[in-house]
């Protein structure tokens, strides 16, 4: 697939690598970051077509990252993927994300949601 990449932001290397591998296998261009601060750096170079965002991360968590996005006027679609004890849809709604999935996630549900949300 052509177009802008999907940016996967998660502090867990195993989860980040799994999500990146799933998306790459589907033909999506993918970038990754271990936290929100690094993701902001990545986004100064290339704007993603979608963010796959964990909420609980060191340095800059999902909530702080979303605040920075808003402050900069950036509004890519966001898919929250989190192991938070609350429903992932609650965390997604708090930051204005378009969808939320729990960890562990179903791979096909993740891919279906990405296909629905990604800006071509």
For the entire predicted model, the pTM comes to: 0.95
CA atoms of 73 and 56, how far apart (whole Å): 23
CA atoms of 29 and 27, how far apart (whole Å): 7
pLDDT in tens, 13-69: 999 999 999 999 999 999 999 999 999 999 999 999 999 999 999 999 999 999 999
Walk me through the domains of the chain, giving residue ranges and CATH numbers: 6-117 (3.40.50.2300)
Residue 80 scores a pLDDT above 90? yes
């Amino acid at each position: 697939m052509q177009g802008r990449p999907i940016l996967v932001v998660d502090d867990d290397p195993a989860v980040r690598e799994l999500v990146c591998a799933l998306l790459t296998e589907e033909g999506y261009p993918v970038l990754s970051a271990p936290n929100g601060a690094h993701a902001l750096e990545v986004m100064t170079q290339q704007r993603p077509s979608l963010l796959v965002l964990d909420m609980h991360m060191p340095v800059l968590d999902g909530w702080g990252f979303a605040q920075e996005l808003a402050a900069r006027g950036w509004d890519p679609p966001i898919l929250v993927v989190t192991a938070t004890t609350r429903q992932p849809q609650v965390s997604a709604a708090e930051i204005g994300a378009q969808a939320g999935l729990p960890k562990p996630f179903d791979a096909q549900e993740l891919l279906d949601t990405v296909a629905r949300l990604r800006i071509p």
